[in-house]
Amino acid sequence: MADLDFFFFPGSTYTYLTVNRIERLAEEAGVSVCWRPYNLRAILLETGVVPFPPGTAKRRYMWIDIERRAASFAIPYAKEPRHPVDPTLISLRVAMVAAREGWCPEFTKAYYRAWFLDDRPAGLDNNMPGLLASLGRDPEDVLGKANEESFGATLDASADEARRIGLFGSPHFVVRGEVFWGDDRLEDALKMAMVGSAA
């Protein structure tokens, strides 16, 4: 079992920061991480939450905050990326295939790099095949698995688990039964994994 479960949704903006930080920090802490993509959209739809509505002060703040935090961690940030970027949930589906097969960190880092830095979000403009090919994956094979009719049950199961645990956003970290929300709680979650307390 992993020491820390990293639950995330590929359409989440703040998760870009975590994806660029978690492996190094976890390695330094001696903490193992399990990458757990999940269907956050189902949770948001049933609660009626729109995290960062277009044209609002909250949305403007989000991009400023992400840019500031990226700079503080020396994480590349080119410009405000397009958002939202995964209307059909294909990126989530592929991330779940990658998690099942053991290449989720590799895919997710490449996915966010393509979205935030290259303006080629994998969930739009048929960009996914090229991204998969760049990782040495067979796009036809991966997309075939991601689009199987039975995959809907996998999406539903991930949302059910999220409800049971009490997840509502991305990124989330679950350690020793404790839930931490937000990239700015990553260090607390790692401390919990190391010493049993975030205090």
Structure tokens at 179: 């839930």
Dump pLDDT digits (tens) for 57-101.
999 999 999 999 999 999 999 999 999 999 999 999 999 999 999
Dump pLDDT digits (tens) for 19-32.
999 999 999 999 99
pTM of the model: 0.96
Task: In whole angstroms, give the CA distance from residue 66 to residue 157.
Answer: 30
Domains in the chain: how many in total?
A: 1
Task: In whole angstroms, give the CA distance from residue 185 to residue 189.
Answer: 6
Residue 1's pLDDT is: 66
Identify the band that residue 121 occupies on the pLDDT scale cut at 50, 70 and 90: very high
> Which residues span the domain enclosing 84?
4-195
Whose structure tokens read 């290259």? 118
Task: In whole angstroms, give the CA distance from residue 87 to residue 90.
Answer: 8
Dump pLDDT digits (tens) for 139-155.
999 999 999 999 999 99
